[in-house]
Amino acid sequence: MAHHKSAKKRIRSTEKKRVENRYYAKTMRNALRDFRALEDKAVAAEKLPKMVSILDKLAKRSVIHKNKAANLKSKLMKQVNAM
């Protein structure tokens, strides 16, 4: 158990960040699943900028790695172009 005041605060703040990061990551995965299920190119092309924005924000906050965001964006753009 932590004895120092700063260590106790670090435990509290880390737990709060962990919960928030799990929420954002789960929301992203759900959005990806819904996007991948789209079959209409017009709808997918319309929603693509929103998905790119979500991925960029998560990479900026270090919820996901920047390379993972880049890979996901690339795959989504390939999917839209292949429709």
Question: What pLDDT, on a 0 to 100 scale, did the predictor assign at position 2?
Answer: 79
Instruction: Enumerate the domain spans of the chain.
Output: 32-83
Q: What is the pLDDT of residues 4-43, one digit of tens each?
A: 999 999 999 999 999 999 999 999 999 999 999 998 899 9
pLDDT of residue 1 exceeding 80: no
> Taking residues 43-58, what's their average pLDDT?
93
> Taking residues 39-66, what's their average pLDDT?
93
pTM: 0.79
Contact 25, 64 (CB under 8 A): yes
Query: Angle CA(46)–CA(48)–CA(49) in degrees, nearest 5?
Result: 90
Question: What pLDDT, on a 0 to 100 scale, did the predictor assign at position 3?
Answer: 85
